[in-house]
Amino acid sequence: MSFIQIIDYETDQPAEIDSRMREQMQAAGEPLYTRLDQTQDLDNPRHFMTIVEFPSFDVAMANSNRPEIDQMARELTALCTSGPSYSNLDVRLHLP
């Protein structure tokens, strides 16, 4: 089964966060993730969640252990007005 990480944050710079995240996540050639979506809260336009899906927990951890990802996380935190907080989720059921 796959693995999903949800990054929950508030920002005034969502396009910059999305751009930097996509750039760094693809920096090593083929992206390690299978899905990357930035969502915006309709009730609070400064609240976002980025959903990153990986083929497995092991692939997600290999990605997280890359030094450039650690640096990116620090840079993205500086762009947030609140957060980020992370949820790490194993996908137990997937319906097509």
pLDDT of 28 higher than 70:
no
61-79 pLDDT, tens digit per residue, is 888 888 888 888 899 999 9
The mean per-residue pLDDT over the stretch 19-38 comes to 79
Q: Which residue has the tokens 């059921």?
A: 93
How many structural domains compose the chain? 1
Mean pLDDT of the chain: 89
Kindly state whether residue 21 falls inside one of the protein's structural domains. Answer: yes
- Going by pLDDT thresholds of 50, 70 and 90, the confidence category of residue 29 is low
Domain with 20, as residue range(s), is 1-40
Question: Whole-angstrom Cα distance, residue 67 to residue 2?
Answer: 23
Kindly state whether residue 34 falls inside one of the protein's structural domains. Answer: yes
pTM of the model: 0.87
H or E element that contains 60 = helix 57-64
pLDDT of 7 higher than 90:
yes
Question: Of residues 38 and 23, which shows the higher confidence score?
Answer: 38
Kindly state whether residue 50 falls inside one of the protein's structural domains. Answer: no
Cβ 84 vs Cβ 38: under 8 Å: no
